[in-house]
Chains A and B, each alone.
Chain A
C-alpha cells in the first residue's frame, strides 16, 4: 500500500530568504531599467521634482538589502541547523544523473534520476549560477554606489572594491556588466517560475506551494 505524507523540506529562514530575494530582485529589475533608460514623467519646476533621485534611492535600498540577503543565504548554506545545503549545490558533478536529468527534461524518459540531494543536477547548477549572478550584481552595484556616496559603510566597501573597478577597466565597464547581468536575472526568473510549475505538474509533490508552506508530499510504502 502507498501513502502520501507531507515532509518538511524548507526551513522558515530559507523561505523568508527566498521571497525577500524574489521581491528585491523584482524591484531592482524594474527600478534598474528605469535608471538605465530614464524618461521624463513629471511636470513642473525642477526644484519640486526628484523622480530619478527617488528611484535611485529605492534601487540602492533594495540593492543593499540584497547584499545582506545574499550573505544570509550563504550563511544558511553552511550553518543551517535543519539542513546545511552547500553540498547539494554540487549535485551537478554526478555526470550520469546529469545526463539522465536532461533526458527527463527533454521528455525522452518519463522518470527523472534518483538523487538524495536537495537539488537535481541541473537545478544545482542553475542555483549556483544564480548565487554567482547575485554576487556579481552586488559587487558591481556596490562599486557604482560607492562612486557617488562617500560616507559610512559604502565608502568602506568602495575602498576595498576600487581595485576591482580598476581591474575591470573603470566604472563604464562595471556599469555595463551590471546591465548585462540584469538580463540574466530576467531570463532566470522566466525559466525558474516555469520549471517550478512543471515540477508541480509532473511530479505532483507540491513544489510550488512548498516554498510557502515548507513541506513537500512524498509517497511512502506502508
Chain B
C-alpha cells in the first residue's frame, strides 16, 4: 500500500476498533443489567485452584489475541470472563461418544479456560447433572420456561434420521433426538454445535452411516455455530462464548459455520514443521532419522494441508503441545466427513485404496497407461497390415504419374 494511504488506513482501523469498543461496552452494561448475577465468583475460584492474578492476566492477553482483537480489548475479555456464568446454557447430547465433554472437563491441570467452563451456568447437562428420568425432564422444561429466548443451546452429537429418528430416544417419554433438538433450539438465543458430530455428523455419519446420522444444521435446518474438532479445543468454545457475551452476537463464520477467528487458516500454514515441508524433508517411516529431526509428516499421512483449524497456534493442555508437535500428522478432524475424506489417516491421500484392496488411484493409473500402450502397439500393427496394400497403391500411383 502506498505511504499516503497508510495513515488513512490506520485511521479507518482505529475508528473501526473505537466503534467496536463502544458497542462492546454498551452491550456489557446491558448484560449486567438484564441477566442474572454471576453464579460464581471467578476470581475466588481461580484463587482456590492456585491460579494467580498474573496467570489470569496472561490468559486474557492470549485470549484477546486468539479472538483477533487488539490489546485494548483485554479488560473487556477479563470482564466477559467474570460474567461468563451469567449466560444460561442448556447442553444437549445426541449420537456421540461424550468425548467432547470429557475432553473439556477432565484436565489434570485445569487452566483458566477449563475453570471458566466450570463456572458456566449449566441449566441442563445430561452427563453432569444428578437428576435423572422425570426429574431431568423437569429440569429441562424449567430451563426452557425460565430462560426462553435467552439461553444458549450447546449441542454435542449428531442426529440419526433413520427410522423416523428412533435410533436415538432420550428421557422417560422416549422422545427422539430430532424432537428434542427442534423443541430446545426453537427457544434458544443461539445454538452452538460443539464437536464434529453435531457440526458435520462425525463418526456415526461416516460411511456406511447405518442410522443416517446428520449434523444439526441438516437435521433441523437452523443456522449453527460449529466448533468443529474431534474433540475441539476448549479455547475455541470459550472464545466463542466470550465473544457472545462481549458483543451480543456470534463471531463471523466461514461457509461451514466455523468461527473465522479460530478456523480461518489451515494447520499447514501455521505448522512449525512447514520449513521442512518446503525444504523437501520428510518423515518416511515412524521413528526414522527424519522423525528424530522433526521433519514434515506429509508422507506419513499429515492432512494439515486440507484442514482449517488453529491447533498449532493455541495448542492443547495449557499450550504444552499439539498433535503435530507430538509427532503425529493432523487427521483433519475439523473438516466435514473427515473420517471418509481424510482416509487413510496415516498415508497421503492418493494412497486411498478401493474396497480395501491394493488398488490406489496411482496403481490404477499406471495399469491403464500400460494397457493403453499395449493397445496402441496392437492397433499400430493391425493398421500397418490393413492399410498396407493401399500404401503400395499410392506408391504405384505416384510412379504412374512419373
Contacts and interface: CB of A to CB of B under 8 A. Distances in A.
Given A46-B281, A53-B278, A198-B383, A148 B269 contact: yes
A107 B383 contact: yes
B376 interface: yes
B280 A183 contact: no
Nearest to B276: A46
Contact of B390 (A52, A110, A186): A110
B280 A40 contact: yes
Interface string A139-160: 0000000011000000000000
Task: Indicate the size class of the contact surface on chain A.
Answer: 35 or more
Q: Give the interface centre of A46, A55, A166 by most chain B CB atoms within 10 Å.
A: A46
A147 B332 CA distance: 15
Judged by DSSP, the binding face of A is: helix
A106 to B, nearest CB: 9
A179 interface: yes
Contact of A36 (B268, B277, B348, B386): B348
Interface stretch (A16-24, A73-81, A84-92, A187-195): A187-195
Interface stretch (B28-36, B121-129, B319-327, B366-374): B366-374
Contact of A194 (B337, B338, B352, B376): B376
B144 to A, nearest CB: 33
A93 to B, nearest CB: 26
B328 interface: no
A53 B281 CA distance: 11
A172 B303 contact: yes
Interface residues of B, number: 49
Instruction: Give 6 nearest A-B pairs by CB, closest first.
Output: A49-B279, A183-B365, A171-B306, A53-B278, A51-B280, A172-B306
28 contacts: A38-B298, A39-B280, A50-B279, A52-B277, A52-B278, A52-B279, A55-B280, A107-B382, A107-B383, A147-B305, A166-B255, A170-B332, A170-B337, A171-B266, A171-B307, A172-B303, A172-B335, A172-B349, A176-B341, A176-B350, A176-B361, A183-B362, A183-B368, A183-B369, A190-B369, A190-B373, A194-B379, A204-B394
Given A53-B278, A147-B305, A148-B269, 18 more contacts: A36-B350, A38-B298, A39-B280, A40-B282, A49-B281, A51-B279, A52-B279, A56-B278, A110-B390, A170-B335, A170-B336, A176-B361, A180-B361, A183-B362, A183-B368, A187-B365, A190-B372, A191-B376
Interface of A: 36-42, 46-47, 49-53, 55-56, 107, 110, 147-148, 162-163, 166, 169-173, 175-176, 179-180, 183, 186-187, 190-191, 194, 198, 201-202, 204
